[in-house]
Amino acid sequence: MKKKMLCFCAAMLFIVATTVQASLTWNGAGDGMSLYQEANWVDSDTGVAPLAGAVDGNVEINNDVIINTGATAGGGNGAGPNLYLGTGSLTMNGGYLRFSSYGLRKDVSFPAVDWAPATLNDGATINAMYIVGIDLTINNGSLILRGGGNPINVTEINLTSTDASIVLTAETVAAFTTEHLSKITVNGAPAVIDQNLSVVSDGATGSIVTVIPEPATMALLSLGGLAMLKRRR
């Protein structure tokens, strides 16, 4: 019996070991722009680029991964100015994705009518000049866009919780309302300022966009606060 248990435990450890993937860190040593090119990544276990085919289809960036495409035009290796999403998707479970001068775009491999899906979870942040052709869901995280004019370009953003936010550092509240409000949904419903969406000035030339809690959520928060006061008394 003891021998069987040891074999079972060894088998389980093997399954876990083979299903946990190493973290990948972006260094842009390949073309500097393709998420699906292994040469742009470093395997945290081996210190070198992952094996061919290891980064394919969908990409998941976890907490300990920080991506910075470089301080100059052309990205991390000077090859391409933007970071392109291929035919898969981008999921960030925490982490920080920053573009010094450019942004996140869908690749030409996407049909013209389709947008590249991306999701922010666990406080993940994308900091860019703009995003183009992206279907972005922010469950828990932030999108910071520093570009002016039309930084949310051919893009739809769905905010699903009060932990989701958009910061536009070069778009006033009036500019956001005119140019971008129609591109925002809250839990799939059209965004309506002062009903399910709050848009306020950042105190300079930008805007801060957050979700307004639903009445039921506000009631629960109020009850929780009253319970805490009662307990303290």
Q: What angle do CA 184, 115, 41 make, to 5 degrees?
A: 110
Give yes or no for residue 7 having a pLDDT over 90: no
The proportion of the chain whose per-residue pLDDT surpasses 70, expressed as a percent, equals 67
Distance of CA 79 to the CA centre of its chain: 23
The span from the CA of 218 to the CA of 170, in Å, is: 31
User: Phi and psi dihedrals of 134, rounded to 5?
Assistant: -120, 135
Number of compact structural domains in the chain: 1
Angle 93-71-68 from CA coordinates, rounded to 5°:
15
Q: Give the tens place of pLDDT for each residue, 123-171.
A: 988 888 999 999 999 999 999 999 999 999 999 999 999 999 999 999 9
Residue 97's pLDDT band (cuts 50, 70, 90): confident
Question: How does the average pLDDT of the chain come out, rounded?
Answer: 76
How many residues make up the chain in this entry?
233
C-alpha to C-alpha distance for 128 and 131, rounded to whole angstroms: 7
Q: Take residue 109 and report the two structure tokens written for it.
A: 């491999």
At 82 the pLDDT is 73
pLDDT of residue 61: 60
Q: What is the pLDDT of residue 34?
A: 67
Say whether pLDDT at 63 is over 80. no
For the residues of the chain, what is the DSSP string, one character each? -HHHHHHHHHHHHHHHHHHSPPPEEE---SSSSBTT-GGGEEETTTSSPPPTTSS-SSEEE-TT-EEE--SSTTTTTTS-SSEEE-SS-EEEES-EEE-SS-EEEE-TTS-TT--EEEEEETTEEEEESEEESEEEEESSEEEEE---S-SEES-EEEE-STTEEEEETT--HHHHHHHTGGGEEETTEEP-BTTTEEEEE-SSS-EEEEEPPPHHHHHHHHHHHHHHHHHH-
Show the tokens assigned to 30. 């390949």
Rounded CA separation 35/31 (Å): 10
Structure confidence at residue 89 (pLDDT)? 75
Does 76 score more than 80 pLDDT? no
**Overall average pLDDT of the 51-77 stretch:** 51
What domain range is 20 assigned to? 2-232
Give the global pTM: 0.71
- What does the alpha-carbon distance between residue 206 and residue 162 come to, in Å, rounded to a whole number? 20
